[in-house]
Structure 1
Amino acid sequence: MKTKVLVYDDNEMLRSSIRFLVESEPEMDLVASLPNAQSVEQDIVQYKPDVILMDIDMPLVNGVQAVARIRKIEEDLPVIMLTVFEDNENIFNAIYAGASGYILKRHLSEEIAYAIRTVLNGGAPMTGSVAKKVLKMLPRAKSQEQEKSNLTEKETKILELLVHGFSYKMIASEIFISIDTVRFHIKKIYEKLHVHSATEAVSKALKNRLVE
């Protein structure tokens, strides 16, 4: 069964480009491509997407507002933000609203298929420059919450890689462990942080400065 992708972007030319990129992947199907997210709740019921690609800057209802509305009815539906913006406010507003990933439009052709696969495998994809900006914004001093998290050194490293947008397979390769071991450690991370998904873990890591 193909992965069903729903797209929101007010730029018709970009929507056409995204359609081409998504439908070039044999396991993906673009079920709808819409100019705004005003009826996002009804759209989800109608199209039953597996993942949403969401422009952050749209008329009527912007991407951050749309993500917040989605999270009220679908806690785990992956939403990847698409944007030309690389500023701190947009990044954090999107992440705190519940976005699952954040990629820049100028990198769409190289990153869109990878980002979709990554988010469906539990990762939190981000364009490299965005991930670096997020980490640079965080003070290096450990916060009180970090002390309370009780994460081991390896768990902290895995959480940091999740923040960078690494998939389970990439994490396994980076620190030389099996994917099953990655899953074991991530389960422990979720338990210690009291979260249920990679998106929540990344959001808490950023909010509470759990990684350097």
Structure 2
Amino acid sequence: MTSTKRTIAIVEDDSLLRESFNETLSSSDAWKVTGCYGRAESALPAIQEDPPDACLVDIQLPGLSGIQLLRKLKPLCPATQFLMVTVFEDADRVFEALAAGASGYVLKRDIDERLLESLDDVVAGGSPMSSGIARKVVQHFQMPVAEPDEDYHLTQREKETLDLLAKGYLYKEIADELGVRMETVSFHLGNIYRKLHVRTRTEAVLKYMKRDPDTKS
């Protein structure tokens, strides 16, 4: 008896890579490709209408980014597992993707060998990551934990900015959400970094999330 194939959508602007993904998955006994898209704008309504089991998404897309697409789709398709593919290895992009709802993050240089394995892992409840990405995540979570009584003296607006950062919002989106200018967001971020003694948004969010929940600024 033939087992039912899992469904997957592909969102990748590189046509050659998109076709390579499609060919690999279509020839697999485990997967059925429901759609291939070169832009997030065309993928959004199709995936929302018929959510697949998994979605392979490039982070760097023209127009809406893969992270922005993920942020829009995850609440609408909570059962869909999103595997991000990218050439980027920096921690901020990793954290933005994970905060937006990604279940895995694989570098394009590793994807030829790991595509099917990573997709099987992600639908089984795992979080596949390239080794370099996994190391960066571990390093950030090994940051020293703040003392329970540490008070960062953050203002209400600084806390709101951090909350939006934790949800994966981009700086422009934070400005729109708070109804302020980009310069104001940059000002708040400068104060946040200084008060938390960090240098990146990822470090700021992780350190703030590790604080004692009863601590008030």
* Superposition TM-score tier, normalisation by shorter sequence: 0.5 to 0.7
The total of aligned residue pairs comes to 152
Q: Which residue of 1 aligns with 2:70?
A: 67
Of residues 39, 42, 45 in structure 1, which corresponds to 2:45?
Answer: 42
Q: Where do residues 144-155 of structure 1 align in structure 2 (5 Å cutoff)?
A: none
Which runs of 5 or more residues in structure 1 are unaligned?
146-203
Identity among equivalent positions (%) equals 28
Contact kept? 1:21, 1:109, Cα under 8 Å? no
Q: Which residue of 2 aligns with 1:199?
A: none
RMSD: 2.4
Task: Please identify runs of 4+ aligned residues in structure 1 that moved more than 6 A.
Answer: 204-207
Q: Which residue of 1 aligns with 2:26?
A: 23
Distance, in Å, in 2 between the alignment partners of 1:9 and 1:40 is 10
Distance, in Å, in 2 between the alignment partners of 1:27 and 1:35 is 23
- 1:72 Cα shift? 2.6
Determine helix, strand or coil for the equivalent of 2:128: coil
Q: Which residue of 2 aligns with 1:129?
A: 132
Highest Rg: 1 or 2? 2
Determine helix, strand or coil for the equivalent of 1:29: strand
Under a length normalisation based on structure 1, what TM-score does the superposition of the two structures give? Answer: 0.65
Of residues 90, 93, 100 in structure 2, which corresponds to 1:90?
Answer: 93
Of residues 103, 108, 112 in structure 1, which corresponds to 2:106?
Answer: 103
- 1:60 Cα shift? 1.2
Distance, in Å, in 2 between the alignment partners of 1:13 and 1:64 is 22
Of residues 3, 6, 24 in structure 1, which corresponds to 2:6?
Answer: 3
Q: Which residue of 2 aligns with 1:14?
A: 17
1:29-62 deviations in Å (ceiling 9; x for gaps): 1111110111444211444311000000001110
Which runs of 5 or more residues in structure 2 are unaligned?
149-204, 211-217
Distance, in Å, in 2 between the alignment partners of 1:87 and 1:45 is 29
- 1:138 Cα shift? 3.1
Under a length normalisation based on structure 2, what TM-score does the superposition of the two structures give? Answer: 0.63
Contact kept? 2:56, 2:82, Cα under 8 Å? yes
Relative distance call for 1:16 and 1:41 in structure 2 (3 A) is closer
